[in-house]
């Protein structure tokens, strides 16, 4: 166990006001100590490392120059906010990061006045910053608003909607583009290439130096019309950048690790800028920690690790991860069917589509952080007879709901939606929980909505989705490893809308949708032991519902309990709707629908989150006893 780093300068800095008392010449030392502190903390907690290492100097410079928290500082995504948290009164809790009751891994309004806006989903910072800048102008507060956005986050359409509006509003907004030429994976798209050109153009940097001085001088003494005219003229010389064409003063690119670059530019902008400004800084993801700098992913997200060697703790899985099972099954199906293509929105490794890209490079597309585009891009492919597997995390699919409705479902296009990270995700907390996909997909006419109960079922669902061409189809599965069931050599095609009975009984029926099946089987053991013979069924489909199965369960049991790791309005709601429509509630059938709570559940271990939600063995048993009016059975919690 390494000793905590010695941080004599950082020990004097709790808040930015303390930081502003330091001499500029002390800031490089402070940066070294913040880096050491962050590396030590994350080695013990795990979390997002590379992004934060890349913005240590930038974060210090912003807090040095601007009067935070009155000046508003917004981080896009927020995964790079650990240095910011260390410098804004949360150093003492930094080793509670992403743990139950601890600090969030992202910026949170509820956590600190230095976090004026929560984040975690990408590309929201310019919009939020513009809102705050306009509020400042309207209220006369005249505060500075700074939005720090990465090059990856600049691949999302929402960023351009905000730039477009900011340029037109001429609001006093400072956008700092943190260009480290990385997303989670290397960035994709034309924007990335454009930024690379900007960052590498030596003449451009030469002229920019002149431009910078010109802007700063003119910014002081003449009104903006002349400044803009000169800037515009200069633009013809160097070729106005896209940002300038959108109404921003574009300053840079400058070295985002150099206080000699950062401090004068930020002070100049603070004192002279009038309208929207974009400062292009070039940084290195993972900066200052050799194992991160050397890693392909720059240690974007890490487990606990050894600080000396950088070796990450190996979690010994009992079963393959759902993501790996999905990826392997998809590659297998793609070998049989050249119409199968994969689409990811900047999450190739997270979704496992990197495996499809390795096997079939021409049939896998990383569209950048652009989920809306991903869905409609898939719809275009499906319209031409291809079988697009648009693999998105449940939480990120939320961003593309209208594209799912308007471009896929209404047209009945056979787009396949592998939905990863369905249910509680644990350390990433409420912003990443996969709660709503069943709720918003199973309401759509013509959609087939499945949930895998275990890794074998997932393999069957990949095969079923590959074979199903009658319309859109989705299948959801959680973060983490499977339950360790025997795997089929190849998936079987499931009969659409048909669930299965996995355990017979006569009194209580547990109807599971998804991976809560394992807890239902354990709960059935307890209920049997208490004399309540229990049937367990795996619904497999939320849409179309297996009406025969539900009728059978309703007619031959005193109680029916649906269990799903999803929000209200999902599988259980559809079952209740069917029971009521069919009059199956008229004879006193007791029904309970177990779902995720109507709360934003803070980060914890997924098993703790499921227990707190009553979606585990004890919770299911407790629900049955309470429904029967019996005291909680001895030895059963819940």
Ligand X SMILES: Cc1ncc(C[n+]2csc(CCOP(=O)(O)OP(=O)(O)O)c2C)c(N)n1
Residues catalogued as catalytic: 285, 371, 399
Q: What's the closest the beta carbon of residue 525 comes to ligand DXP, in angstroms? A: 31
Q: Was 111 annotated as part of a binding site?
A: no
- Any contact of residue 183 with ligand X (CB under 6 A)? yes
- Other beta carbons within 10 angstroms of residue 57's beta carbon come to 27
Which positions lie near Mg ion, rule CB under 5 A?
Answer: 150-152, 180, 182
Residue 346 interacts with which of Mg ion, ligand X, ligand DXP, none, CB < 5 to 8 Å by class: ligand X
Say whether residue 42 binds ligand X (CB under 6 A): no
- Residue 371 in marked binding region: yes
Give the number of other CB atoms < 10 A from CB of residue 224: 14
Q: Which of 362, 210, 370, 287 is nearest to 52 (CA)?
A: 287
Residues in contact with ligand X, shown as a per-residue x/- string from 138 to 177 under the rule CB under 6 A: ------------xxxx------------------------
- The verdict on whether residue 272 carries a ligand-binding annotation is no
Compute how many other C-beta atoms are within 10 angstroms of the C-beta atom of residue 89. 15
Query: If binding is defined by CB under 6 A, does position 184 make contact with ligand X?
Result: yes
What is the DSSP code string of 505-573? Answer: -SSEEEEEESTTHHHHHHHHHHHHHTT--EEEEE--EEES--HHHHHHHHHT-SEEEEEESS-TTSHHH
Closest separation in Å from C-beta 345 to ligand X:
6
For strand 508-513 and strand 500-503, is the pairing parallel, antiparallel, or unpaired? unpaired
**H or E segment and range at residue 388:** strand 387-393
Radius of gyration of the chain (CA): 27
First-to-last C-alpha distance (Å) of the chain: 38
434 is in an annotated binding site: no
422: annotated binding-site residue? no
Give φ, ψ of 432 to 5 degrees: -115, 0
**DSSP H/E element including 206:** helix 202-221
Q: Which tokens sit at 508?
A: 């209580």
Check residue 420 for interaction with ligand X (CB under 6 A): no
How far is 341 from 122, CA to CA, in rounded Å?
25
Which region, judged by CB under 6 A, interacts with ligand DXP, from 9-17, 421-429, 513-521, 570-578? 421-429
Q: How many residues bind ligand X (CB under 6 A)?
A: 24
The binder of ligand DXP chosen from 50, 116, 288, 301 (CB under 6 A): 301
Name which of ligand X, Mg ion, ligand DXP, none residue 153 binds, using a CB cut-off of 5 to 8 Å depending on partner kind: ligand X
476 is a site residue for ligand DXP (CB under 6 A): no
122 is in an annotated binding site: yes
| Binding partner of residue 425 among Mg ion, ligand X, ligand DXP, none, CB cut-off 5 to 8 Å per kind | ligand DXP
Binders of ligand X among residues 358 to 387 (CB under 6 A) are 369, 371
Q: How many CA atoms lie within 13 A of 37 on its CB side?
A: 26
Annotated binding residue 24: no
Cis ω for the linkage preceding 630 (within 30 of 0): no
Helix (H, G, I), strand (E, B) or coil at 448: strand
Q: Is 428 in the site for ligand DXP (CB under 6 A)?
A: yes
Whichever of 174 and 347 has its CB closer to ligand X, that residue is 347
Q: Is the dihedral of CA 522, 526, 532, 533 positive or negative?
A: positive
CA–CA distance, 14 with 402 (Å, rounded to integer): 45
For ligand X, give the closer residue by CB, 22 or 242: 242
**Among 94, 400, 425, 554, which residue interacts with ligand DXP (rule: CB under 6 A)?**
425
Nearest residue (CB) to ligand X, 153 versus 539: 153
77 lies in the binding site for ligand X (CB under 6 A):
yes
Q: Which helix (H) or strand (E) holds 133?
A: helix 125-139
Verify binding: residue 459, ligand X, rule CB under 6 A.
no
- Residue 533 neighbours by CB distance under 10 Å: 15
- Rounded to an integer, what is the distance from CA 106 to the centroid of its chain? 11
Among the candidate windows 126-134, 373-381, 420-428, 459-467, which touches ligand DXP by CB under 6 A?
A: 420-428
Neighbours of 220 (CB within 10 A): 11
What is the Cα–Cα distance from 386 to 365, expressed in whole angstroms?
13
Out of Mg ion, ligand DXP, ligand X, none, which partner does residue 80 contact, by CB within 5 to 8 A per kind? ligand X
Instruction: Check the annotation: does 180 bind a ligand.
Output: yes
Residue 185 engages ligand DXP in binding (rule: CB under 6 A): no
Distance between CA atoms of residues 105 and 121, nearest Å: 12
Residues 6+ apart with CB under 8 A from 244: 231, 235, 250
**Is residue 79 part of an annotated ligand binding site?**
yes
CB of 608 to ligand X, least distance (A): 23
Single out the residue of 72, 79, 84, 516 in contact with ligand DXP (rule: CB under 6 A).
79
Interacting residues with ligand DXP (CB under 6 A): 48, 77, 79, 184, 301, 350, 421, 425, 428, 479
Interacting residues with ligand X (CB under 6 A): 51, 54, 77, 79-80, 120-122, 150-153, 180, 182-184, 285, 345-347, 369, 371, 396, 399
**Binding-site residues, please?**
79, 120-122, 151-153, 180, 289, 371
**Binding-site residues for Mg(2+), please?**
151, 180
């Amino acid at each position: 166990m390494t000793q905590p780093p010695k941080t004599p300068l950082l020990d004097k800095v709790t808040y930015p006001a303390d930081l502003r008392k330091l001499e500029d010449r002390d800031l490089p030392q402070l940066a070294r100590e913040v880096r050491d502190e962050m590396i030590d903390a994350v080695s013990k907690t795990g979390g997002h490392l590379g992004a934060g290492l890349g913005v240590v100097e930038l974060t210090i410079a912003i807090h040095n120059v601007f009067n935070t928290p009155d000046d508003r500082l917004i981080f896009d995504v927020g995964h790079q906010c650990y240095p910011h948290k260390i410098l804004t009164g949360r150093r003492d809790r930094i080793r509670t990061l992403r743990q139950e009751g601890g600090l969030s891994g992202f910026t949170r309004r509820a956590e600190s006045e230095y976090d004026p806006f929560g984040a975690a989903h990408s590309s929201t910072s310019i919009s939020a910053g513009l809102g705050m800048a306009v509020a400042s102008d309207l209220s006369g507060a005249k505060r500075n608003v700074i939005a720090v956005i990465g090059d990856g986050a600049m691949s999302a359409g929402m960023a351009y909607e905000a730039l477009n509006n900011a340029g037109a509003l001429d609001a006093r907004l400072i956008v700092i583009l943190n260009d480290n030429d990385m997303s989670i994976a290397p960035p994709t798209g034309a924007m990335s290439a454009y930024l690379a050109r900007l960052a590498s153009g030596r003449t451009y940097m030469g002229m920019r130096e002149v431009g910078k001085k010109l802007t700063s001088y003119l910014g002081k003494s003449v009104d903006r019309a002349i400044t803009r005219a000169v800037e515009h003229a200069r633009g013809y010389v160097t070729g106005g950048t896209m940002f300038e064409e959108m109404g921003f003063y574009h300053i840079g690119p400058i070295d985002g690790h150099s206080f000699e670059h950062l401090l004068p530019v930020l002070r100049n902008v603070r004192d002279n800028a009038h309208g929207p400004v974009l400062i292009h800084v070039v940084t290195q993801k993972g900066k200052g920690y050799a194992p991160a700098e050397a890693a392909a992913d720059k240690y974007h997200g890490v487990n606990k690790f050894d600080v000396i060697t950088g070796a990450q703790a190996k979690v010994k899985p009992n079963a393959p991860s759902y993501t790996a099972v999905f990826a392997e099954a998809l590659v297998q199906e793609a070998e049989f069917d050249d119409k199968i293509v994969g689409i990811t929105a900047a999450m190739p490794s997270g979704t496992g589509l990197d495996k499809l890209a390795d096997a079939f490079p021409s049939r896998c597309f990383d569209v950048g952080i652009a989920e809306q585009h991903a869905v409609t891009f898939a719809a275009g492919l499906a319209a031409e007879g291809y079988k697009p597997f648009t693999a998105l995390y449940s939480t990120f699919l939320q961003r593309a709901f209208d594209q799912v409705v308007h471009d896929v479902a209404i047209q009945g296009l056979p787009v396949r939606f592998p939905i990863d990270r369905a249910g509680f995700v644990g350390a990433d907390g409420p912003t990443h929980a996969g709660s709503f996909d069943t709720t918003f997909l199973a309401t759509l006419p013509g959609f087939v909505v499945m949930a895998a109960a275990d890794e074998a079922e997932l393999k069957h669902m990949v095969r079923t989705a590959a074979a199903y061409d009658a319309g859109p189809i989705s299948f959801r599965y959680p973060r983490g490893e499977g339950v360790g069931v025997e795997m089929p050599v190849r998936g079987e095609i499931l009969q659409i809308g048909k669930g299965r009975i996995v355990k017979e009984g006569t009194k209580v029926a547990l109807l599971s949708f998804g991976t809560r099946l394992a807890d239902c089987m354990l709960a059935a053991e307890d209920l049997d032991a208490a004399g309540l013979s229990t049937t367990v069924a795996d619904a497999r489909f939320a849409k179309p519902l297996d009406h025969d199965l539900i009728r059978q369960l309703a007619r031959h049991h005193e109680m029916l309990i649906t269990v799903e790791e999803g929000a209200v309005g999902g599988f259980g709601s559809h079952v209740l709707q069917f029971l009521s429509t069919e009059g199956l509630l008229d004879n006193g059938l007791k029904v309970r629908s177990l779902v995720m709570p109507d709360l934003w559940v803070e980060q914890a271990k997924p098993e703790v989150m499921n227990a707190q939600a009553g979606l585990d063995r004890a919770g299911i048993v407790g629900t049955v006893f309470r429904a029967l009016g019996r005291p909680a059975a001895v030895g059963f919690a819940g």
